Amino acid sequence: MGNWRTKVFLWIGLPAIAVIGLVFGAQDLVPSYQAQGGKGTAGTFTAQREDCGRRSCSWYGDWQAADGSKTRTDVILYDEPDSLKQGDSVEAVDTGARNGVYTKGGGASTFYLTLALSLAGLAAAIGFVFFLIRQFTRRRQPQSQQQQQPA
């Protein structure tokens, strides 16, 4: 493990991937699963603005429950239809995702993305724990045993 890039990845990269994957992915995993299963509070999303990055665009707007009991403003619409334009309204469900609501009948692609992110975070966390265990058990061995073991 003499390569500095490997050390940076093991000490900084793995914990960063673990935190990002577990914090951000796991928070939306259950809501996205519920949406792709058709669960949640039914309502209407009205598109107000489109934000585009390098590779994709996302629609933001307001969502109101069908029974008028709940409103969310400036939320993202996950799994939006390609034909969506500013001012359009579509059926959407609120499943408790922290930043948005899901198109009715959608949620599958977002679910798989959050699942992959969560699994990557979990794998990185497990890998980092094994790396730490190996580091600390190597340091406890007498110097003569460390030299005899192949790297």
| pTM of the predicted protein model | 0.71
27's CB contacts (< 8 A; 6+ apart) are: 98
Closest CA to 40 of 114, 113, 100: 100
User: What's the confidence (pLDDT) of residue 139?
Assistant: 67
Going from the C-alpha of 92 to that of each of 31, 44, 88, the distances in angstroms are 13, 5, 12
Tell me phi and psi for residue 24, to 5 degrees.
Answer: -80, -40
The predicted-structure confidence for 27-70, as pLDDT tens digits, reads as follows 888 898 999 888 899 999 999 999 998 888 899 999 999 999 99
User: What's the confidence (pLDDT) of residue 41?
Assistant: 94
CB of 22 within 8 A of CB of 125? yes
The pLDDT confidence band at residue 150, using thresholds 50, 70 and 90, is: low
